[in-house]
Structure 1
């Protein structure tokens, strides 16, 4: 019998014995998947319609069940649009903690820094996007335009 077959047979036997004895393997129930994606279609439509209150309500519900960079990023965006800059910053940081290369979060965080007069920090986000998008990307271009529209070079 090969080693792989032997190991598989022993593993199956152990699971069978544990099941018969009423012992089951412990599985973590509090770990949240970040690879799956929440359906954000409705939220994006509300944001496009500038219905930030409804988008925020839906996003808060999604955030309870989904630890995902996209959800946190849109929470940050919506909160920024409603003027809650401090909480917005928290959610952008959560998004980037989960996914440091999240381009939209970097763009919107840069815009938040522009809105709050922290141009050095906005330019840090611009630098990060430049590194993430050496050939250019929408997020890089949008942040460049946002900074330029505020009269900052």
Structure 2
């Protein structure tokens, strides 16, 4: 009887372990998806990224999801993915830049400036992400007309 109880306990522990297995944090090769993004094939890229997000938890993946959904004008989805990227890596320069651009797109200048402030902290000698966001903010502040 004790052997049967042990066998049942082992079975359920194995099943529970399979269900609770954490997703991978190892980022697979994204070169094909990046090529789709660079060529403007956002729908195809989004399909591949969404599929990967089922098993991979990584800031770079979420950043690309944010960028792709932003380019598809799915701004709420984009905001969610940038938050996810920054949850996994609060210093992710790409996510901070792109989220700042999303803030500008939605009229949140203060949010964009806050992200620029974060980039100032993470790259005090400058970095492309900081410079790009600073230019976008400056352009948004120019009087139109």
TM-score range, shorter chain: 0.7 to 0.9
**For 1:44 and 1:149, how far apart are their aligned partners in 2?**
27
Q: For residues 43-70 of structure 1, what are the alpha-carbon distances to aligned partners after superposition, in whole Å with 9 as ceiling and x for unaligned?
A: 1111111111111111111111111111
Give the alignment's Cα RMSD to 1 decimal. 2.1
Consecutive unaligned residues in structure 2, runs of 5 or more = 1-5
Please list, as runs of the form range in 1=range in 2, the aligned pairs for 1:1-153 lying within 5 A after superposition. 29-34=20-25, 36-152=26-142
**For 2:109 and 2:142, how far apart are their aligned partners in 1?**
8
Larger radius of gyration: 1
Alignment partner, residue 3 of structure 2: none
> Is the contact between residue 38 and residue 71 of structure 1 (CA under 8 Å) also seen in structure 2?
no
**Number of positions where the alignment pairs a residue of Structure 1 with one of Structure 2:** 132
**For 1:151 and 1:54, how far apart are their aligned partners in 2?**
34
Q: TM-score, normalised by structure 1?
A: 0.78
> Is the contact between residue 59 and residue 92 of structure 2 (CA under 8 Å) also seen in structure 1?
yes
**For 2:142 and 2:130, how far apart are their aligned partners in 1?**
15
